[in-house]
Homo-oligomer: A and B are copies of this chain.
């Protein structure tokens, strides 16, 4: 096992009816900005519950945080926070709303141009407004971590930052609030969580059996529960299990003490920034090819993955690995997320452009061994056409 630090002070309030507990976890004298996305929370009743629980506090709204939240949009929220002297943020939505809220929290009292937060990956954050979240879309794990990914449209740049100062104070997870999610978001969420786990699990062995088994437990649960969520959208237990999986997939726990990859995410970010694909779509496209191209350096873990997750024990090593990767890809398709560039009207003709973006973002030595060069990324993309 590798040395590690683990710290995660976010309070989780999980279960039916927990939005009412907002009134215990948001200070009574808080001046609150409620941030959200496209407005589905107004039609499904979540917004009304939130406002009822915040009764007695000054509350302003900031709607319209888009998928892949943009610097341009978020800076308008920063202005409102400053003008109205608000002191507490409440994100109501999925990973994009929460990531965006983390940026607003860090930018509100930032000295200078807040884009510098992204340029330093968060190292220059000195303070942040306190904030909580109400999760309505299980996927990114942002509700229980201190990372955020922000897009600057004018630069076609999608960049990440993190800081100990942007852990949510609390996150409320009510699985029943996910019943009305569109099919596409259910599928995307499961694929996103699955890919997060793979980035931390599918590297090379360091004798860390607990981390391995926790990761495997999450993968197995997503494989079992994901299709059930598509078939029976109002099964509470299914939604609860997926929701808790997605949170635990990226709260720092399963990655503590083990190598981590993240090359799939870095290549995927460029596909979103250039062509607007959903984040999960990019992961579904890139991950299978990434595993195929890097089969040698990941061999031991791929064999473990084949056996423990897909119960594949017969055949040559190569055959078992190939079958496990195929099953992974099939699972993404089963969840309704297409896995080839051509499914999104992209192809070989786009690869050079993606590689140029990777190079301009200095993403030239990715992965747990820093051996995912631009040439390797090219091979991955060629396999994903």
Contacts and interface: CB of A to CB of B under 8 A. Distances in A.
Interface in A241-263: 241, 244-245, 248, 253, 256-257
Interface string A1-33: 111111111111111111000000000000000
A307 B257 CA distance: 29
A14 B6 contact: yes
A214 to B, nearest CB: 6
Report the contact-size class of chain A (Cβ under 8 Å from the partner): 35 or more
Interface in A225-241: 225, 237, 240-241
Contacts of A225: 209
Given A3-B16, A237-B207, A216 B218 contact: no
B244 A210 contact: yes
Interface string A203-220: 000011110111011101
A240 B8 contact: no
A240 B4 CA distance: 11
Given A3-B16, A16-B3, A18-B3, A210 B241 contact: yes
Contact of A213 (B2, B18, B221): B221
Contacts of A9: 7-9
A318 B207 CA distance: 36
Contacts of A1: 14-15, 237, 240-241, 244
Given A9-B9, A217-B210, A248-B210, A14 B257 contact: yes
A224 interface: yes
A133 to B, nearest CB: 14
Query: What 10 A-B pairs are tightest by C-beta distance, nearest first?
Result: A3-B15, A213-B217, A9-B9, A7-B11, A6-B12, A207-B237, A1-B240, A209-B221, A4-B14, A210-B221
27 contacts: A1-B14, A1-B15, A3-B17, A3-B18, A4-B12, A5-B11, A5-B12, A7-B10, A8-B9, A9-B9, A12-B256, A14-B256, A14-B257, A207-B241, A208-B241, A209-B220, A209-B221, A209-B224, A209-B225, A209-B241, A210-B218, A210-B241, A210-B248, A213-B213, A213-B220, A213-B221, A214-B214
